[in-house]
Amino acid sequence: MRIRLAVFALVALVIAVLAAGISSFLVDPENLGVRLALYAVALLAIIAAILFTVFAIVTPLFGRTGVEPAVIAQARAAGRAGPARVLSARATGAQLNGAWGYDVRLVVAATDVPAYEVSDRVRVHRTHGRLTGAGELVTVVRLAADAPQVVVIDGPARTSQDVAVPHEAPPWPAA
């Protein structure tokens, strides 16, 4: 998402430079209507470039965004959902659509791979509560079979549960 926004910003900037250049150097100075139209296109493209750049910079504050429900459903069907223990959590202060962003260290007890530790930026919806990093249990799903990053789909648990999630684990194996 961030790369896509950066590419859009770059394309908008190229359009702005082309429109301003064509208006300044190729259009007859007496043809005021065409020049103003090209300058208007350049101005709109500059505004778009600024907005895309700002969103490309700010987007990571909110954790993993734009994950489609179909992708989560596929990952769940593939058996990549499971509980995770929060080792530490630090609120980023960012909130998006009712979900708070956290920088967390998790021990994920996945069903298809051995338990592993991961540091990630996740979002937890406000109806699920807030993370304190005191060993809460959350339910996560690993989106890709070959990557450790997860999306929190439920949690933290309001009551203690008898879930076999270790308190420590080795980090995700490097490829």
Asked if 121 and 64 count as a contact pair (C-beta separation under 8 A), the reply is yes
Spell out the residues 6+ positions from residue 57 whose beta carbon is closer than 8 angstroms to its own: none
Q: Could you check whether the bond before residue 173 is cis, i.e. omega within 30 degrees of 0?
A: no
Per-position pLDDT tens, the chain of length 175: 678 888 999 999 999 999 998 888 888 888 888 888 999 999 999 999 999 999 888 876 665 556 777 888 888 888 888 888 888 888 887 777 777 888 888 888 877 788 888 888 887 877 767 777 777 888 888 888 888 888 888 777 655 555 566 666 667 665 4
Q: What is the pTM of this model?
A: 0.57
- Domain parsing of the chain, residue ranges: 2-62, 69-154
For helices 2-21 and 32-58, angle between their N-to-C axes, nearest 10 degrees? 160
